[in-house]
A and B are shown apart, each in its own frame.
Chain A
Amino acid sequence: MNVSWGWVSLLARAARTRRGAIGLTVTGAVVLLAIIGPFIAPHSPTVSQTAPFAPPSGAYPLGSDGIGRDVLSRVLAGGWLLLGVAAASTLLGVGAGLLIGIFAAYRGGIVDSMLMRIVDVLLAFPPLVFALLIVSVLGRHVWLLLIAVSISHTPQVARVVRAAALDVSARDFVRAVELLGTPSRRVMTGEILPNLLSVVMVELGLRFTFAILLIASLSFLSFGIQPPAADWGLMINENRIGLTVNPWGVLVPVVLIAVLTIGLNTFTDAIARASLGLERPPEQMDLVATGIVSEATL
C-alpha cells in the first residue's frame, strides 16, 4: 500500500486499473485534441472556404458546413472553449457544494436544516431549465454560462458531501480534536475535509461530464456558446439540416462529445472503486476487510 493517501495516489491507483487506464486514455486523447486543435487547424474555423455542405475532399477531409466553412478546422477549434467552461464551472460548483455540505453536516441543527431546504429548492429546478432561465434573462455571455452551470452543480454536490461529512464528523477523532478546543473552522478544514477526498474526486469527475453535456445542450439550443465561434454543441445544431448531404459536420462532434463523456465516466468510476479499495478482485478485498490477509500480502 502506498504511504500517502493523497489525491495523487488515489488518481494513480485508479489509473493503474484496466477500467481507469481505458477511461484516462480516451479522455486524454479528446482533451489533447481540443487543446492543440486550434493550433493545427488547416483553415480558419470562421471564414467560408468552399461551397455549403461540400462532401469530404482532399483539401477539406470532413467537407464543409452550411456556409462553406471547413468542418475539420471547426472540430479542431471547437473543443477548448467547451472544455474550459466545463472545467471552470465544475471547479466552482463542486467547491461551493463542498463548503455548503461540510458546513451543514458539522454545524447540524438549524443551520443544517436551513441550508438543506435551500438546496432542495434548487434541486427542484431541472438544471437545463435553470441555466436557460438565467441565460435568457441576463444575456448570452460566457461568464454567465459558467455561473449558471456552476449553480446547477452546487445542490447535488452539497447533498452528497453532507452525507459523507456527517459520517466523518461522527467519528472519534473529530471529538478528540474538539476536546483540545480547536476552532470549528479548523476542525472542518483539517479533520473532515481530508477524509472527503474520494467523494470530492468522484464528484469532480461526474460533474465535469455533466457540465460538458449541459453546455453542449445549451449551445445546441443556441443559448450557449454563440456563433460564429466554433463549438461542438453549436456545430450539431448548425449542421443538422445538412445531415443527408455532409453528415460529418454532425457525426464528428457527436462522437467526440460521446467519447469524452464515456471516457470521463469510466475514469471516475475507477476513482470511486479505488477509493473504496475495490480495484482488486472482490474476493481479495473480502479477505482484507475480514483481516485474514493484510494489504501488503496481496
Chain B
Amino acid sequence: MSQTDGAESSPMLTGAEDRGQLRPAGEDPALVSVERLRVTLTGSEIDIVDEVSFTLHRGEVLGLVGESGSGKTTVALALMGHTRSGLAIGGGRVIFDGRDLLTLGSELGALRGTRIAYVAQDPTSALTPTLRIRTQLREVFTTHGTERLGGMSAEDRIAELLSEVGLDRVGHVLEAFPHQLSGGQQQRVMLAMAFACRPDLIILDEPTTGLDVTTQRQVLDAIRAMCHSYRVAAVYVSHDLAVVSELADRVGVMYAGRLVELGATRSVFTAPGHPYTRALVRAIPSPTRAHVLVGLEGQPPRPGHRPAGCFFADRCEFSVQACRLRMPDAMSLDGERHWARCVRSTEIVELPAFAELPERELRATSQDLAGLLAVRGLSAGYGGTPILRDISFAVQPRTCLAVVGESGAGKTTLARCIVGLHSGWQGTIEFNGTSLAQDRRDRGRDIARRMQYIFQNPYTALNPRKTVGQLVEQPLRELFSLSRKERADRRERALDAAALSRSFSGMFPDQLSGGERQRVAIARALVVNPDLLVCDEVTSALDVSVQAAIVELLDDLKRTRGVSVVLITHNLALVRSLADDVVILREGVMVEQGATVLDQPREEYTATLLRNVPDLSITS
C-alpha cells in the first residue's frame, strides 16, 4: 500500500498518477492535465467542485460518473475553461496541450469548436429548428475556416462525416430540418458537427440520455468509432455506469464535488476501492443476471454544508473514526493508475463487488388468463390513431408483471387504460373477476381503493401546496370515513411501509429529494391497502442508487404485503431484479410474454433489445 501525494496536494500529481502505468515508453505526454481544479459559487468560498485532478491521453475515453449534483458536468465544462453562470473557476490548472486554458483569455474562443468540441445532452435544443442540417453543418466550416476541410470540398467532407457517424441516406438527412429526424439521428448530427474540425478533445455530456436502448447502442458505437479513428481524447459524462463501462477506458467517480476514485474501467467496476463506487455498482440492475439490488440511503452533503472529513462518511457502511477527521488522501491501488480517496480502500478493493449478491428467486407463474387482473383483447387509441392492438395478459396475485417496451410502444396508454384514466378502449379488463368500466368515474370506490397508480414523475405527482401528511391522508379522506386518530395511525404505518421517517409528515414536497418524493407517492398508494400497484416508469426520473432503493421497496411490498405490481418500464435490466413475468410490447403489439422471456427470448426483437442494453457485469 502506498499513499500517493497526487490528487491531494502536489503539482507532482501527473507524475504520481502515471507512475507504474502500463503505457509504452515514448508515448506522447498527456493531452489534458487537470490539476487541483476548484469551482466555486461566484463571489463566495463555497465550492461546487474542488481538488479534482486527472490526466487524459490522445485516443483515450475517460468516463466521469456520478449522481445528479455531483459536479461531473461542472468539471467537464471547466475542461473548456467554461463555467455555468453563477459559478467561477476558483483555482487549479487545466493544461491542454502544454497551455493552461484557465489563463488563456480570448484565445480560448479559438480553441473551442476547433480543438475542443462539446456535445450536449439534448440535441433538440442544440440544433436550430429553422435551418436545414446541411446549412448547420456548413456553418462549422464558415465559422472555423475552410482550411479545416483538409483539402476536401465542404460537401464531400460533410457527407463523409455523416457516414462516419453511421447515418445512412445522407442526402435525405442533409435536406431535413431537425424535427424531421429522430433523437438518435439528431445526436449523430451533433457528433458529426463536433468531429468536423478534427478536434483533439471532445466532451460528451450525457449524449445518450433520453434515447431508446437500440438508438443508444448506435450512438455509442459511433462515438467509439470516431474517437478511435481520429485518436481523439474524450470525456464522457454520464450517470449511467453501464454505458460508461462499455465505452470508457478509464473512469472517474464523482461524489459531492470530489473525484473519489479513478482508474481503468475494468478495475474500477470489478474491484471498486471506494465504498461509494461499490454502492453504485451494487445498485445497478443487470440485464443478464437477476441479482438483488442494494439501494443507498441518504443524500450527499450539499455545497456549503460539507463536513470536515470524508463527505461519504455519513452514508458509508465502512466508516471509522478516522474518516471524520479529514478528507482522505488518494490511495493508490493495485500498482496501476487506479486510486480511491478512502482510508480503507485497500480492504474494500479486496471485497467482491457484486458477485456475492444473492440471485432473486423467480416465482413460477401460470399463463392462465384469469388472475387478479386480466386484460383480454385490449385495443386503444387517441383520436382515431391506434396505439394498442389486441393486448392480453394476466397478473397473478402476489406477483410482479413487467410491461417492457421502447418509447412509442404504448406502455403508458396501457397503464392508463388499466387505471381508468384513458377511456375509449375495446376489449375487457377484469379485476378480481369483475369486468371494469372504461372510465374511472364508473368504477366505484372499491376499485379506486384496491388498484393504485404510481406516476412516472414524482416531481409533478405530488401537489406542491400540501404537506406529506396531507398527501398521504388524502386517499383516506376520500375513500373512508375515519376519525382523525385513525387516519394519523394509518398514515404513519404507510410512511413506515414506504421506509420514510414519520417526521416527513409536516414537510412539503419541494423539501424532499426525488427518491423521497417517489416514496411519498408509494406511501399514498399503500395507505388504503391496495391489492395492485400500477407503476409507470417509477424510477426513470431517479438516480441509480435511489432506483435500487425503490426497487427494493417494491419487491419487499410484494413479498411481505402480498401486493401485486404491474411495472411499466423501458429498462430491461430493471425487470430482472423485480418481475416474475414479462410482457414485451412493440409499437402497440405484444411481441412475447412469459417468465423466461429474458433468458430464452423466442422473438428476434426481444433478443435485439437484450443485446443492446448496456451491461456493467459484462466487464467483470
Q: Measuring CB to CB, which residues of chain A are less than 8 angstroms from any residue of chain B?
A: 1, 3, 5, 171-173, 175-182, 191, 194-195, 197, 281-284, 286-287, 290-294, 296-298
Contacts and interface: CB of A to CB of B under 8 A. Distances in A.
Nearest to A191: B463
Given A292-B87, A297-B46, 12 more contacts: A1-B511, A5-B510, A173-B460, A179-B452, A181-B440, A182-B478, A191-B463, A283-B85, A287-B41, A292-B71, A294-B302, A297-B304
A292 B463 CA distance: 24
Nearest to B470: A190
B150 interface: no
B419 A179 contact: yes
A175 B457 CA distance: 12
Contacts of A5: 464-465, 508, 510
B325 interface: no
B303 A180 contact: no
A195 B452 CA distance: 24
Nearest to B49: A292
Contact of B455 (A172, A181, A194, A286): A172
Contacts of B14: none
18 contacts: A3-B506, A3-B508, A5-B464, A172-B456, A173-B462, A176-B461, A179-B421, A179-B453, A181-B440, A194-B465, A195-B464, A197-B465, A282-B85, A283-B42, A283-B86, A292-B74, A293-B303, A297-B305
Nearest to A294: B302
Contact of A296 (B302, B455, B474): B302
Given A172-B455, A291-B69, A180 B48 contact: no
A180 B448 contact: yes
B206 to A, nearest CB: 13
Nearest to B39: A292
Contact of A292 (B69, B474, B479, B510): B69
Contacts of B465: 5, 194-195, 197
Interface of B is mostly: loop
A297 to B, nearest CB: 4
Interface of B: 41-42, 46, 48, 68-69, 71, 74, 84-87, 302-305, 419-421, 440-441, 445, 448, 452-453, 455-457, 460-466, 474-475, 478-479, 506-508, 510-511, 521, 524
B41 A293 contact: yes
A181 B86 contact: no
The 3 closest A-B pairs by CB, nearest first: A283-B86, A194-B465, A172-B461
Contacts of A177: 463, 474, 478
Given A180-B474, A293-B48, A195 B441 contact: no
Contacts of A197: 465
A297 B420 contact: no
B463 A195 contact: yes
A298 B42 CA distance: 11
A179 B448 contact: yes
B87 A175 contact: no
